[in-house]
Amino acid sequence: MLKGFKDFIMRGNVVDLAVAVIIAGAFGKVIEAFVTVIMDVIGKLGGTPNFSAWAPGGVHLGTFITVTISFLIVAAAVYFMVVAPMNHLAARRAAGVEPEPEAPSEEVLLLTEIRDSLRSR
């Protein structure tokens, strides 16, 4: 029973998923700090960035506005830090044509000739 569990845990997909979760948690903290910085800048430019108390006509729209701004900042950060570089890398890989193999050097030709000579003996 423990061997089966060990095999399951050590399977490549599970280990990859565990690494992805750990990296995502760390990246989430970076993005959270980035959102805090951006919200502070917004606060410096136009007053407090926390609109939670704003409720025109008794409808609490402030929380929705604050969360929407945070979401847009997170989406922009993920796009510019992850998606755009990966798209650029994928385009470079797709556009890259494999170079033609070069002609073998003189050393390789000599070694090939020696190998063929030894095989014929």
Rounded Cα distance, 103 and 35, in Å: 55
- Note the pLDDT tens digit of each residue in 42-53: 778 777 667 777
Q: Quick one: what percent of the chain has pLDDT higher than 70?
A: 91
57-84 pLDDT, tens digit each: 888 888 888 888 888 888 888 888 888 8
Helix or strand holding residue 103 (H, E): none
The structure's pTM equals: 0.52
Q: Please indicate whether residue 105 or residue 12 has the higher confidence score (pLDDT).
A: 105
